[in-house]
């Protein structure tokens, strides 16, 4: 389907990267209409569509989100692509260092990004390193040195491109195309927008979300409410919460706190919330 020229289709990411939306199949009403094949009853209103889409994501009825597809072209450092390709449900095509000499583009982080190893998180970064500027200079010199050798092997000595890249650093940029349905993208975003994901891939995930949600605002709002910003508690955590809160919530207080029912918080959702509180022992059954 042609892209809407009034909407944004590309975002720069990091120093030389980007995400570019190439194609979209479906629109914001597609998950609703795909789901309604079950009953054969067409949506009566925008509100009815919103209610159904929110219900589906809330209850992880995910197949109606598989009928809408987004294709992106992405330029990213190889280290980001390596993480990205762990998401096996996308279809990928990547430029090949066997067929062409790759463009001389390398990622160098900003000084604020260059941090000490985090103390508590083995995968993460901690406070900014005081020697960040020097490290960036040195990384950049190494990249230039590699680039000069790579070019010489290919252009002066006619070494096969597939071997000339032998020492290519993971900071080197490469370009690939990723095609996935809305559910694939939700799963990817859930993991890669999280604070635990590496900063670099997080920046790409944020950009993907901004571009994709323009075409599926209703689904993305539901994704945000029920997946991205939702909190799930383990049994132990729920037990601790109950202990800390002490007295149970009164039925009166529960009723008073409920917002007026509407498509973004239906009577049914309010009842589901009541059942959760009962299960957690925070509200009595009557």
Binding site for ligand FAD (CB under 6 A): 86-89, 187, 191, 196-197
- Go through the chain and tell me how many residues it has: 286
From the candidates 165, 192, 209, 218, which is the catalytic residue? 192
Closest CA to 205 of 50, 90, 64: 90
Q: Measured from the CB of residue 278, what is the shortest distance to ligand FAD in angstroms? A: 30
Residue 180 C-beta: closest distance to ligand FAD, Å: 8
CB nearer to ligand FAD: pick between 36 and 87: 87
Close Cβ partners of 132 (under 8 Å, ≥ 6 residues apart): 111, 112, 113, 114
- Is the CB of 91 or the CB of 253 nearer to ligand FAD? 91
SS (H, E, C) 146-178: HHHHHHHHHHCCCCCHHHHCCCCCCCEEEEEEE
Q: How far is the CB of 178 from ligand FAD (least distance, A)?
A: 11
Q: What is the dihedral of CA 219, 220, 222, 228, to 10 degrees?
A: 140
165 is catalytic: no
Q: Which is nearer to ligand FAD, 114 or 197 (CB)?
A: 197
If the CB atoms of residues 67 and 111 are measured against ligand FAD, the closer one turns out to be 67
| Ordered strands of the 69-77 beta sheet | 10-13, 17-25, 69-77, 173-181, 91-94
Return the structure tokens found at 245: 């809160």
Q: Tell me the closest approach of the beta carbon of residue 171 to ligand FAD, in angstroms.
A: 19
Residues belonging to the active site? 192
């Amino acid at each position: 389907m042609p892209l809407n020229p009034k909407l944004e289709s590309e975002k720069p990411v990091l120093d030389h990267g980007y995400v570019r939306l190439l194609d979209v199949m479906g629109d914001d009403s597609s998950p609703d209409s795909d789901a309604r094949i079950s009953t054969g009853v067409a949506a009566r209103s925008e509100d009815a569509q919103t209610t159904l889409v929110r219900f589906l994501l809330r209850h992880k009825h995910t197949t109606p989100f598989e009928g809408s597809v987004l294709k992106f072209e992405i330029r990213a450092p190889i280290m980001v692509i390596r993480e990205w390709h762990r998401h096996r449900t996308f279809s990928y095509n990547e430029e090949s260092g066997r067929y062409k000499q790759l463009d001389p583009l390398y990622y160098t982080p900003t000084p604020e990004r260059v941090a000490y190893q985090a103390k508590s998180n083995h995968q993460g970064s901690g406070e900014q390193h005081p020697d960040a500027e020097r490290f960036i200079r040195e990384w950049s010199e190494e990249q230039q040195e590699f680039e000069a050798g790579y070019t010489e092997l290919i252009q002066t000595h006619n070494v096969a491109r597939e071997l000339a890249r032998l020492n290519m650093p993971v900071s080197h940029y490469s370009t690939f195309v990723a095609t996935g349905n809305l559910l694939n993208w939700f799963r990817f975003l859930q993991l890669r927008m999280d604070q635990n994901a590496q900063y670099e891939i997080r920046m790409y995930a944020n950009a993907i979300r901004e571009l994709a949600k323009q075409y599926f605002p209703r689904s993305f709002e539901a994704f945000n409410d029920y997946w991205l910003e939702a909190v799930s508690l383990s049994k132990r955590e729920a037990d601790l919460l109950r202990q800390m809160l002490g007295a149970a919530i009164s039925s009166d207080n529960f009723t008073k706190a409920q917002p007026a029912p509407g498509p973004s918080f239906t009577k049914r959702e309010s009842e589901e919330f009541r059942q959760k509180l009962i299960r957690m022992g925070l509200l009595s059954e009557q």
